[in-house]
Structure 1
Amino acid sequence: MNVTVDPSDWDEAEDVVSDAYFPHDLTPVSADSEPNVNVRAMQLGSLRLARIGWGAEVSVGTEHPGGYAVNIPLSGRIESVSAGRDVISDVGKASVFRPDTPAVITRWTADCEILGIKIDRDYLHRELARVLGRPDRRLPDQVDLSTAAGQNWMGLLRSIVRQIRDGEVLWQTPVVAEQLSGALTGAFVLAVLPDAAAAPPRPRIVKRVLDRIDEDPSLAWTASDMAEAAGVSVRRLQEGFREYLGMCPRDYLLDVRLSRIHDDLMAGDPSVTSVTDVALHWGITHTGRFAAAYRRKYGYAPSETLRS
């Protein structure tokens, strides 16, 4: 997606960048300034990459609904405030903004162009659990990309962007997009939290339920069924899941079902002609909510996966 915005219209500039990255409120620092905005954005699995420059000094306010933002200045600087913390990032640094948390970039310099990475909140938490065993690990407000780990991650990012630009990878294929987004996110986690403590053993009550769900997510699981499998109360099971995985048992069950459905749709079996039949096979009974959840997770409709 490449967009050139009418340089006389700040409202259009705000709308286009909101659609490409995060919804926000834009304020030009000088009332007499004119925008000169170029926006390039692409969806890569559970990530959205956006290159944004306003061409004038602005202030931007947003809550980053549903996702983390990693804003990497390629030139210039951004000065921001979020949750009472001040962060100034120029080339070699990246500002990290948490989901659903009010933040203001108080000064985005006229010469500043960023590479922004939008990471779905639930997806990042799952990656933190997968890579570190710690979904509760807190990302820093700023990442130093001048370190060896930071430079290695930036090298991977540039390589993937170059391969996509040059047509060397079929990034629009869902399975490839997910592989690339997983590689970028996992490497980012390791670069940002290199000294993370080893993961503690999974709490037994959580592991029992994870194992049972993974064995057969198609069963008509209820909260009581899961609690019985763990040998604890429903409330205690919910607390254990939130503490260890950052989600409730029902959300985990849905995530597993979505993965199984996605795998079946991607398999290319000629006998599979209906998304609904596959969804029902894996225990989905509300197809409307399923389709919305599938789109949030993969960035496209299940019918598109079946046709790919």
Structure 2
Amino acid sequence: MAGGRLPGPASPGADVPVHVGLRTSDMDEAREFCRKLYYGPLRIDPVGDPGRMRFAADVVTIGPITLGEVRYGTDIRITIEALETAYHVLVPLSGAVRSRHRGAVTLADATRAVVYRPTGDIELDWPGSCRLLSVKVDRAALEREVDAALDHRVVSPLPLGATFDLVDGPGRTWAALARLLLHELRCPDALASRPRMAARWRDMVVSGLALTVEHPYGEEPAGLQGPHRPRTVKRALDAMHTEPWRPWTIHDLAALTGVGVRVLQESFRQHVGQPPLTYLRRLRLDGAHAELTRADPGQASVTEVAYRWGFTHLGRFAGAYRARFGVSPSETLRDRA
């Protein structure tokens, strides 16, 4: 163990970083370390040779974020119940990791990071050759940041994309920033270890993630046309979020906002990145997906969930769902059994 005692739950206002590290070949010790630093309901099972176990972790907590570089040295499988209180990003620094979350299978490697929402259990196949940058962000902190960046009330949990690019664009910059912050905070005499500077870097990691992850509030959140959307766009978005199941037409939304159809469509193109009804369909799909990942297969049906989210044509719903999540609605529900 290095860097002091394991910290308790992070306080969102805390500016003093706490660094802890562990090198061990004892699986029980590694489990206890990860449960205290990340999540209590976490199960770690060796899949490869336990004798090759060489767990190594350096983790820093500061306010609403926890950053760490972690490897196991042998193949393992991790299962985690719904995160509930946090969003989580895994960035492979070497090797690749395969995970199943919310009915979708994702492979993360040096080119793509994987993103986990607070809902839905996670199953992670982690090879011994893989070393990860693991970033946990307090749920409320990220949601506040997205809300502030877009000047728009957001749903919770955020309907985030499952991955983002690490080769080009904001994802590459964000991953480099998070890794640099971890490196600096591990050095007690570094500039970033001073509370005032650490707080600023911490906020940059949270705000940077808000502008990096994919979400339906805009295809390119970092390129929004200014911090404030027109009142007409905000009224239409609020209406769709309040009643996503309602059979909105483009004419209904235009009448609600007091502008013509063409004006509303152009405003959405500029300030949201997609047409109003495309946004509405994606909002409904994400809502149905979130409900199916939580539902009890013995108590719910795909038909009920689809109708509840405004889908009246089950065949079209199933096709759009598979195109977005890579699996059918029934597979998502069945995986909850």
Of 119-128 and 143-152, the range deviating more from structure 2: 143-152
The equivalent residue for 2:6 is: none
Amino acid paired to 1:20: L
The equivalent residue for 2:213 is: 192
Q: 1:159 aligns with which of 161, 165, 180?
A: 180
Deviation per residue, 1:137-189 (Å, 9 max, x gap): 5221111111122222233234333433443325352x433322211111122
The equivalent residue for 1:47 is: 65
| TM-score normalised according to structure 1 size | 0.59
The equivalent residue for 1:171 is: 193
Deviation per residue, 1:195-233 (Å, 9 max, x gap): 136646467xx9xxxxxxxxxxxxxxxxxxxxxxxxxxx
Specify every segment of 5 or more residues in structure 2 that has no aligned partner in the other structure, as ranges.
1-19, 239-337
Aligned partners of 1:66 and 1:13: how far apart in 2? 22
Cα contact 2:49–2:75 (8 A) shared by 1: no
1:18 to 2:25 alignment: no
Displacement after TM superposition at 1:59 (Å): 0.5
Cα contact 1:45–1:177 (8 A) shared by 2: no
Q: 1:146 aligns with which of 159, 167, 172?
A: 167
Q: 1:80 aligns with which of 92, 99, 105?
A: 99
Amino acid paired to 1:118: K
Amino acid paired to 1:195: E
Q: 1:35 aligns with which of 53, 62, 76?
A: 53
Of 67-76 and 152-161, the range deviating more from structure 2: 152-161
Work out the number of aligned pairs and report it.
Answer: 201
Aligned partners of 1:161 and 1:143: how far apart in 2? 20
The equivalent residue for 2:283 is: none
SS in 1 for 2:66: strand
Deviation per residue, 1:256-297 (Å, 9 max, x gap): xxxxxxxxxxxxxxxxxxxxxxxxxxxxxxxxxxxxxxxxxx
Percent same amino acid at aligned positions? 22
Aligned partners of 1:119 and 1:145: how far apart in 2? 18
Aligned partners of 1:60 and 1:200: how far apart in 2? 45
Cα contact 1:45–1:180 (8 A) shared by 2: no
Cα contact 1:41–1:48 (8 A) shared by 2: yes
| TM-score normalised according to structure 2 size | 0.54
Specify every segment of 5 or more residues in structure 1 that has no aligned partner in the other structure, as ranges.
207-308
Aligned partners of 1:42 and 1:150: how far apart in 2? 21
SS in 2 for 1:40: strand
Aligned partners of 1:104 and 1:31: how far apart in 2? 20
Displacement after TM superposition at 1:39 (Å): 1.3
Q: 2:89 aligns with which of 50, 55, 70?
A: 70
SS in 2 for 1:41: strand
Aligned partners of 2:163 and 2:190: how far apart in 1? 32
Aligned partners of 1:200 and 1:139: how far apart in 2? 24
1:95 to 2:114 alignment: yes
Cα contact 2:48–2:75 (8 A) shared by 1: yes
